[in-house]
Every structure is written in C-alpha cells, then in structure tokens.
Amino acid sequence: MRFFGIFDGHSGNTCSTFIAEVLHKNIDNLTQFTETEIATVVMDTDQQFLDSDQFQNKDDGSAGIFTIASFDQTTNNYKLIHGNIGDSRTVLALKQEDSFSTVPCTFDHKPTNEEERKRIEDAGGFVELSRVDGQLALSRAFGDRMLKTLHLTPEKRKVTSKPEIIINNASKDDFLFMACDGIYEGDIFSRETVIKYISDQLKQSDDLAVISALVLDECLRRGSRDNMSAMIIQFIDGTEYTKLTEYIPGPFEQNDSRFQEAYTKDALAAGFTLEQALQKRTQIEELEKKKTPPNNDANSNKQNSTTPNVIYLPDN
C-alpha cells in the first residue's frame, strides 16, 4: 500500500502542512479501505485540525488530492483509490501503443456546481462572484474555519472536507500525474495537453524529477502566476533510482527580493545553502544545454518552480 498526496494551501500554510503530516498516518490506521471509511477519516482529520490548540491561526485552508495505491498479485495491476477535496487534479495516463489516453480521476469542486451550490445554500450560505459567501473559490476544503458552519455535520457544511472518491486500475506501463491548480491556471495546460507534454518528455528521459521540473518551468513560460506542486508516479520497480526525494532548484531571479527570500528558504528546507543551490542550478542548466527535449522553451522567462517529489512504486 502506498499513499501519495498534494495539499495546496490558501491564506497561509498552517492547514496544508498539518494535513500533509497527519492525513496519511490516519489513513494508515484504517483496517478497511472502503469509500465510507476513507471519507470519514479525511473529515475527522480536518476536524482534528480545527479542534487543535496547537495553532493560533486556524482560518487558513487547503485543497487536497491523494491516491492510495495497492498491488494486486492476481492481476499484476494496481488498484488506485483517488480522493479529492477542492480543485487540485489527479490524472491517470493509460498506455495505448505509442501514446497515452487521459483518464480524469478528480473533478474540481466549485461553488457554482449545482450540487455544491445546493449544499452551501442549505447550510445558510450563498454563492457570490463564484465564491462561497463571496470569499472562497472552493466549495470543499480542509480548514477555512470561518466558513465551516461547525454546528452542522462535516458533510453538510458550507465548505465541506468530504472527499469525492474515484477508483480505477493501472498497469506498469501507465503513469499518474498529480498537481495543484497552478498547473492548469488560465488553461495553461489541460489534462490532455499536460499528459501529452509529459509523455513526449518520457521518450527522451526516464528521470521523473527532471521531467517534473520541465512541466513547472513550462507553466511559468506560459504565464502561470500561481504556486505550483506536481508529482509523476510510475508503477514500476524503483529500487535502482538514486533518491526517493530530490531537490531540483529552479532559475534564480536577481531583481526580486521576495523571490530570493523564498528561494533561500526552499533551499534550506532541502538541506542546501543558497550558494549550493545556485551551483546545482548551474549544473542543471549545463546539462539541459547538452540534452534539451523537443519543443522545450523552458530556458526563457523562467522563475522558481516548486520542488517535485519523485516516488516509484515497487511491484510488491
């Protein structure tokens, strides 16, 4: 059993950090992985955050996607249980001869959706400017205490943390792409075009860390202004891969002090000094010059991109 998740915070990072650290532990304690059990533990984790005395600020929130993958020895395939709260997206790419077909595994939770609007209004709220009570552009999220109508059960709240769950299967030839909404902002990528972009890079390289970085850099080149997190998962034996988590620094912006502060903080979190990160970035750029995948304009108009986490699944 493996757990993969991306949690995209808003109005702060208190909630997203808590959920990222706690949710997978709570799910690991389950004895049954039914849709009801998973949904209950997700909502209980949100309530755990809301009830905690550990945080002074509990009014920020987070979208979240996660996938629970288990290997079926009888079919040699993986069963995938996808959960979604908010507007991040999980996409399954199914191998078909020389290309991949795209299977959406999540659907955005927006206040304007008919089902979402009804719950919001039944809970005493309203939708204005495509936002819950004119404030939040998501109809499902962790945290966001001020919009939770805490006197109601979790699934009936204006902003609920009840996940929408989709189940499907994957083989060793397929891959999964998980990303926050910054990847898709303003139609920069669609589900289909991002899978096509990744599959084109896979023809040139098997280094998922580099490919993940290229996706993020391409988003920046196309004009994304939102934060970005992304993960590519292949269903193969990864024991020969050098690292489970790899830090890949993005381009450094010389004329933006806030950018430089965030860049330095990101490097320190990965165990690098700023000088070491810049040296690593120089090495990456030299390598890209020697071997640049086709249709990649990632060296123009770059900014910093979020560090991708790269995890392979074993076959047992």
Query: Strand ranges (DSSP E) for the chain?
Result: 2-10, 61-72, 77-85, 89-96, 99-104, 127-128, 131-132, 142-143, 164-170, 175-179, 230-234
What ranges do the domains of the chain cover?
Answer: 1-179, 190-224+240-310
pLDDT at 254: 83
Q: pTM here?
A: 0.79
Q: Which of 180-194, 214-228, 231-245 has the highest mean pLDDT?
A: 180-194
Sign, CA dihedral 254-257-258-261, equals positive
pLDDT tens per residue, range 134-157? 999 999 999 999 999 999 999 999
pLDDT tens per residue, range 248-276? 888 888 888 888 888 999 899 888 999 99
CA-nearest of 282, 263, 286, 284 to 274 is 263
On whether the CB atoms of residues 120 and 126 are closer than 8 A, the answer is yes
Average pLDDT over residues 183-195: 93
Question: What DSSP character marks residue 187?
Answer: G
CA-nearest of 119, 107, 206, 111 to 156 is 119
Per the prediction, the chain carries an average pLDDT of: 88
CA-nearest of 163, 170, 112, 123 to 140 is 163
Instruction: Provide the CA 160 distance to its chain's centre, in angstroms.
Output: 19
Which superfamily, per CATH, for 1-179? Answer: PPM-type phosphatase domain (3.60.40.10)
pLDDT tens per residue, range 152-185? 999 999 999 999 999 999 999 999 999 999 999 8
DSSP-derived 3-state class of residue 14 = helix
